[in-house]
Amino acid sequence: MDVNGGSYENDYNHKWKFQGNKELNNASIFSIRSVINLLTQNIDGNTNRPMISLAIGDPTGFKSYRTTSTAVDAVVDSVRSFDFNSYSPTVGVLPARRAIAQYLSQDLPHQLSPDDVYLTAGCTHAIEVVVSVLGRPGANILVPKPCYQQYEARAAFNHLEVRHYNLIPEKGWEVDVDGVEALADDNTAAIVIINPGNPCGNVFKYQHMKKIAETARKLGIFVISDEVYGHLVFGSNPFVAMGEFASIVPVLTLGSISKRWIVPGWRLGWIVKNDPSNIFNKTGIAESIKNYLDISSDPATIIQGAIPQILEKTNKDFFSNIIKMMKEAAEMLYERIKAIPGLTLPHRPQGSMAVMVKLELALLENISSDLDFCLKLAKEECLIILPGVAVGLNNWVRITFAVELPTFEDGLGRLEAFCQRHAKKQN
Ligand SMILES: *Cc1c(COP(=O)(O)O)cnc(C)c1O
């Protein structure tokens, strides 16, 4: 009861002074999760067909994609040691930083030091840190189109303008380097590349990466290289770390154990300076990263404690088995798409966990867009795939192939049935 004897519940006119964040709530960006929710809601509630999702890169639900017992043992040992129950230093515990420096140096012409490594709560947090550090009114970064949307979503919230350069499907999703030069100006800080590529499933060639490095140098900007799918490759192009070109241009490499070890829930990632000329120190970027981490949350210390064992002891067979399964599914997709009306896959997937497939809307009856395609597919076939709009490319869809083969085959069968049914009759 309030002072007037009325009830609080009925006092509709009371003036509250707080409100939600407009910048967040007006964000026009589709997050992958929100799109998937929308599609899942569209599933026919009367069907008893199990839903199949080829929409997200998290195969932890499949038995054959279980992480290695080496990783599990490492976490158990870390917990049992009682050495990792404290808060960690904001940059991460030294043994973990040392192990990551060692692990990544295997791919590099230079030796990383633990001081080059900052631990984060997954690669998502690494993106948050880097984007936040660069955010200031007027500044911009160059981001690929299509792209993993986290960059854009974060930037929108951090006063950082995003400018899109194209990845060219006809060239195996190489960077449109001329386009990059045309986009950059005096307020450009960095170019983001994702290699192996999400959402395109491509892997950059050495010479192309060198060209990206030289272009960035010419423009006076650095490279943010998202290598969260590092080593998850199975095609003709080997994985090359962007840090290879650090003598040309400074590189911040972002990564995590989420994808290669199939433990996205463990939330352990990193930001690594590949910078033999110490440019990140001279420009204050290194200091800003440290300062941001001082006021941000850390990955769980017990997972940090497990990192040396995870990185040093994981058997090669674990990795090769995962890659073999993904390659089988990716090859099946590539072959079967050829017979599906309205869909084309411009090149063989080479890595990561997903690939972009083009929709030929002119060949399909009663489908107005990629989102419409995915909504109807969910409704009619209980199959979820990601519309291109969720990664910034209309009239394409993204299909995840990190899926157990029988499920994947079932999913492709449904996709084919759907496209056959919606194919325009030839006359
Ligand atoms: C999955 C993914 C991330 C996020 O990785 P987490 O370690 O799970 O936070 C970042 N970038 C790309 C390109 C991804 O696909």
Q: Is the pLDDT of residue 316 over 90?
A: yes
Is residue 111 included in any domain, yes or no?
yes
Q: Does the beta carbon of 117 sit less than 6 angstroms from any atom of ligand 1?
A: no
Q: Does the beta carbon of 195 sit less than 6 angstroms from any atom of ligand 1?
A: no
- Tell me what pLDDT residue 5 has: 62
Residue 25's pLDDT band, with cuts at 50, 70 and 90, is confident
Selection from 11, 386, 6 nearest residue 200 by Cα? 386
H helix intervals, 187-278:
206-219
CA distance 193 to 126: 14
Are 229 and 364 members of one domain? no
Q: Does the beta carbon of 123 sit less than 6 angstroms from any atom of ligand 1?
A: yes
- Tell me the CA–centroid distance for residue 152 and ligand 1, in Å: 14
Q: Is the pLDDT of residue 2 over 60?
A: no
Higher pLDDT, 2 or 127: 127
Among 281, 313, 345, identify where a domain stops.
313
pLDDT in tens, 255-313: 999 999 999 999 999 999 999 999 999 999 999 999 999 999 999 999 999 999 999 99
Q: Identify the residue whose C-alpha is closest to ligand 1 atom 15.
A: 198
Is residue 186 included in any domain, yes or no?
yes
Helix (H) or strand (E) holding 343: strand 343-344
Q: Does the beta carbon of 189 sit less than 6 angstroms from any atom of ligand 1?
A: no
- Tell me what pLDDT residue 3 has: 54
Q: Does the beta carbon of 225 sit less than 6 angstroms from any atom of ligand 1?
A: no
Residues 149-154, mean pLDDT to the nearest whole number? 91
pLDDT in tens, 213-239: 999 999 999 999 999 999 999 999 999
Output the domain CATH number for residue 355: 3.90.1150.10
* Average pLDDT across the chain, whole number: 95
Q: Does the beta carbon of 122 sit less than 6 angstroms from any atom of ligand 1?
A: yes
Mutate to test the pocket of ligand 1, among 120, 123, 131, 232 (most ligand atoms within 8 A of CB): 123
Is residue 8 included in any domain, yes or no?
no
Q: Is the pLDDT of residue 12 over 90?
A: no
Are 262 and 223 members of one domain? yes
Are 108 and 127 members of one domain? yes
Are 44 and 93 members of one domain? no
CA distance 317 to 69: 12
Are 94 and 200 members of one domain? yes
Distances (CA, A) of 359 to 198, 200, 368, 388: 18, 14, 11, 10
Is residue 1 included in any domain, yes or no?
no
Among 313, 331, 364, identify where a domain stops.
313
- Tell me the CA–centroid distance for residue 124 and ligand 1, in Å: 6
Q: Does the beta carbon of 269 sit less than 6 angstroms from any atom of ligand 1?
A: yes
- Tell me what pLDDT residue 45 has: 77
- Tell me the CA–centroid distance for residue 41 and ligand 1, in Å: 25
- Tell me the CA–centroid distance for residue 127 and ligand 1, in Å: 9
H helix intervals, 42-121:
69-80, 94-105
Is residue 210 included in any domain, yes or no?
yes
Relative to the CA of 353, which ligand 1 atom is closest?
Answer: 15
- Tell me what pLDDT residue 35 has: 87
Half-sphere exposure of 69 (CA within 13 A, CB side): 0
Among 313, 343, 376, identify where a domain stops.
313
- Tell me the CA–centroid distance for residue 3 and ligand 1, in Å: 54
CA distance 410 to 355: 18
Number of domains in the chain: 2
pLDDT in tens, 160-169: 999 999 999 9
Q: Does the beta carbon of 258 sit less than 6 angstroms from any atom of ligand 1?
A: yes
Q: Is the pLDDT of residue 382 over 90?
A: yes
Which percentage of the chain shows pLDDT scores above 90? 86
pLDDT in tens, 184-202: 999 999 999 999 999 999 9
Q: Is the pLDDT of residue 1 over 60?
A: no
- Tell me what pLDDT residue 30 has: 61
pLDDT in tens, 278-289: 999 999 999 999
Q: Is the pLDDT of residue 61 over 90?
A: yes
Using N-to-C axis directions, what is the helix angle for 32-41 and 370-381, rounded to 10°?
40
Q: Does the beta carbon of 194 sit less than 6 angstroms from any atom of ligand 1?
A: yes
Q: Does the beta carbon of 266 sit less than 6 angstroms from any atom of ligand 1?
A: no
Are 274 and 340 members of one domain? no
pLDDT in tens, 243-256: 999 999 999 999 99
Residue 26's pLDDT band, with cuts at 50, 70 and 90, is low
pLDDT in tens, 89-126: 999 999 999 999 999 999 999 999 999 999 999 999 99
CB atoms within 10 A of CB 155: 23
Query: Structural domain of residue 309, as residue ranges?
Result: 69-313
- Tell me what pLDDT residue 29 has: 57
